[in-house]
Amino acid sequence: MATDEILQAIPHRPPFLFIDEVIERSEESLTAKRHVSGSEDFFEGHYPGNPIMPGVLISEAVFQAGAVFLTNLLAEELEGDPELVPVLTKITDARFRSVVKPGDDLYITVTLKEKMGRFIFMNGAVKNGKGKRVMSVTFSVALAKGEAS
């Protein structure tokens, strides 16, 4: 179950919420955790009989952790203009090193590389509960006007 901090920071909700709790936060980084229970619907069709978490969903967990991190980093800017939302603009150097299976715990760390105006550059890394690297990725987001609902 996601903590209130996560639910207040980003609009994502189950079944498309891929972080459960924030483990650690600093001015430069955030580490979140996700327990992969095996009851997720995607396991039924992604390698049936040998379930593997899709890489795109592991990546999404990184981007969601990044969005939670940005709520504090950009609090003043976002408060000053409530229509601004961080939007993923670039993904580079995504590398998958091991598979994620039901029962795994993921530790997702995002680190600020650089902030230039409304562009934010970050690194993401995911390790399993045994400390083995699952993936790494470099990505950027930009603050953009959201569409009025």
Task: List, by residue number, the catalytic residues.
Answer: 46
Residue 53 vs residues 14, 46, 82, 110: alpha-carbon distances, Å: 16, 7, 34, 20
Strand, coil or helix: 45: helix
Closest to 109 (Cα-Cα) out of 126, 93, 94: 126
Residues 6+ away with beta carbon under 8 Å from 68: 5, 6, 9, 10, 19, 22, 30, 32
- Neighbour-count burial for 113-126, b at 16+ CB within 10 Å, e otherwise: eeeeeeebbbbbbb
Report the chain's terminal Cα–Cα distance, integer Å: 28
Give the Cα separation of 93 and 46 in Å (integer): 24
